Amino acid sequence: MPRPPPIAAAPQFPMTSLLCGGALVVSISQMLGRGIEPLVMDERAFWAQPWRLLTSALPHGSPAHLIFNLLWCWILGTHAEHFLGRWRVGVLIILSAAGSAAAEFALYRGGIGLSGIVYALFGTLWVMSRIVPSLRGLMTRNTALLFLVWFVLCILTTWMGWMNVANYAHAAGLGIGVLLGFAYAAKDWRRWAGWLGAVGLSISAILAAWVWRPYVNLRWTDALIERAQPFLDQGQDALALPMLRAAWERDPADIALAFNTALLSFRTGDVPGAIRVLARWSADGRGGNEMSGLAIALAGQTLATYPWDALVIAGYAVAFDPANADAWDVLSAARFAVGDVTGAIDAAESGLSADPSLGGLRERVQWIRTVGYRQWADKEDGHG
């Protein structure tokens, strides 16, 4: 491959220079501890902050990541800008940045770095070197082999857990670049096919990330949680609940999802929905202090208005953590609220066995035996 121009020639390649300079400034700022959160890819790119589709290419995870991408961006970008002109390279940068960022976000999670654009530049120059006779030596066999081997190695190292590489961004960038190579260099029907393919691939990636992400993302649960998060941040619990519940149904063993789905169901007035989560957690043979504590809180809040629901929830609180005296306490209160006086005493005494120091439970037993029986007896007489 021909040698790239020196850095002093940067004004002659405004698109490449602007891209490399922006990545350098943003990445160094990031490494110095400056906040770059407004630039990285997340759900807000599709409803309030579309610039994230482009700016997520500027930060880098490490100095080595930055240097590698800047090196190849300069080599490939200056050659592309020399043969294609600044505006065509500008179109390539926009389509590949947005398409690769959206593809990575749609299928996995948001990535950072110039890699998607670098692979697009490689794909375009590789196709042009095969189509345009005067550019035969532009992309050497060794350079093409290096990029393809690196592409495969990144997939393998990610799969083996050695590195976390944005492989979907690489693939999308390469695909867009190859299609643009035909769009820029071909003289027949392949030119229009290349344009339609490149634009269509970028738009499809954006739609996949925007509309279809919960259904195409390989991290289904995380995608649903991320989609629900903006609504939770705005206090729109009713809009977030269906996504959170769908995430929990896909991963019912996740205690955080179970906890938050039950809590959100309760907060939106769906008490049966909260009970279904607790029932599923119990049926799967799971327990835990966290879920027991949640059930205790929910039972306490429903006791006055929905005593029978409170009784069911309190039963799950005990099932999740039989050694929790507070669970027995709320179960005792719920049983008394529905008229099971003997059951209320039994629950309170079980709580005392779990924690004899709880004087409140002892007082509850004494109160039920002296006052509670009489109250329920009076109610029964009144009904009679």
- Give the pLDDT means over successive 10-residue stretches in the chain (384 positions): 89 97 96 90 89 96 94 97 96 98 91 96 96 88 94 91 90 97 94 97 95 80 78 86 84 82 88 89 78 89 89 90 85 86 82 68 68 52 46
Residue 338 DSSP one-character state: T
Do residues 101 and 57 lie in contact, with contact meaning Cβ atoms separated by under 8 Å? yes
- Residue 353 is a catalytic residue: no
C-alpha span between 282 and 146 (Å, rounded): 54
The answer to whether residues 184 and 274 belong to one domain is no
Query: Of 198, 216, 234, at which residue does a domain stop?
Result: 216
- pLDDT of res. 362: 66
- pLDDT of res. 375: 56
The answer to whether residues 39 and 127 belong to one domain is yes
SS3 state of residue 82: helix
Q: Does 1 reside within a domain?
A: no
Query: Of 185, 216, 247, at which residue does a domain stop?
Result: 216
Query: Of 201, 216, 231, at which residue does a domain stop?
Result: 216
Q: Does 125 reside within a domain?
A: yes
The answer to whether residues 343 and 285 belong to one domain is yes
Do residues 105 and 41 lie in contact, with contact meaning Cβ atoms separated by under 8 Å? yes
- Residue 204 is a catalytic residue: no
The answer to whether residues 167 and 224 belong to one domain is no
The answer to whether residues 177 and 115 belong to one domain is yes
| Phi/psi at 252 (5° precision) | -70, -15
- pLDDT of res. 373: 55
Do residues 254 and 287 lie in contact, with contact meaning Cβ atoms separated by under 8 Å? no
The answer to whether residues 240 and 209 belong to one domain is no
- pLDDT of res. 282: 83
Number of domains in the chain: 2
SS3 state of residue 160: coil
The verdict on pTM exceeding 0.85 is no
| Residue 273: both structure tokens together | 């929905």
The answer to whether residues 170 and 271 belong to one domain is no
- pLDDT of res. 89: 97
Q: Does 2 reside within a domain?
A: no
C-alpha span between 58 and 115 (Å, rounded): 10
The answer to whether residues 289 and 171 belong to one domain is no
Tell me the C-alpha to C-alpha distance, in Å, between residue 218 and each of 2, 45, 87, 221: 40, 20, 35, 9
Expressed as residue numbers, the domain containing 157 is 7-216
The answer to whether residues 170 and 24 belong to one domain is yes
The answer to whether residues 24 and 160 belong to one domain is yes
The answer to whether residues 145 and 225 belong to one domain is no
Whichever domain contains 100, its CATH number is: 1.20.1540.10
DSSP labels for 229-285? Answer: HHHHHTT-HHHHHHHHHHHHHH-TT-HHHHHHHHHHHHHTT-HHHHHHHHHHHHHTT
- pLDDT of res. 360: 60
